[in-house]
Amino acid sequence: MRGVLSRPVRFVVVLYLRRRAVRYVSDAFDLAERRDVRAAVRCHERSTALWRAVEVLRGS
């Protein structure tokens, strides 16, 4: 079926997206400490989008 990832590929993609999401959250906290609010919010939004993608992939 087109568009469906195999289980091993999905697992690797989920791991990658999780790592990216965690990195973005860490960056958001670092930016917030430096008072760069706009950049912190951007990083947090990116992290949220990645976590949503992880949830979708894990549910499929």
Whole domain around residue 53: which residue ranges? Answer: 7-59
**DSSP character for 38?**
H
* Structural domain contains residue 2: no
* Structural domain contains residue 1: no
- Other CB atoms closer than 10 Å to residue 47's CB: what's the count? 19
Compute the distance between CA of residue 36 and CA of residue 15 in angstroms, rounded to an integer.
Answer: 28
* Structural domain contains residue 26: yes
Per residue in 2-30, is it b (16+ CB within 10 Å) or e — as a string?
Answer: eeeeeeeeeeeebeebeebbeebbebbee
Compute the distance between CA of residue 6 and CA of residue 29 in angstroms, rounded to an integer.
Answer: 35
Q: What is the value of pTM for the model shown? A: 0.80
Q: Domains in the chain: how many in total?
A: 1
What would the pLDDT profile of 4-56 be if each residue is shown by its tens digit?
778 889 899 999 999 999 999 999 999 999 999 999 999 999 999 999 999 99
pLDDT at 28: 95
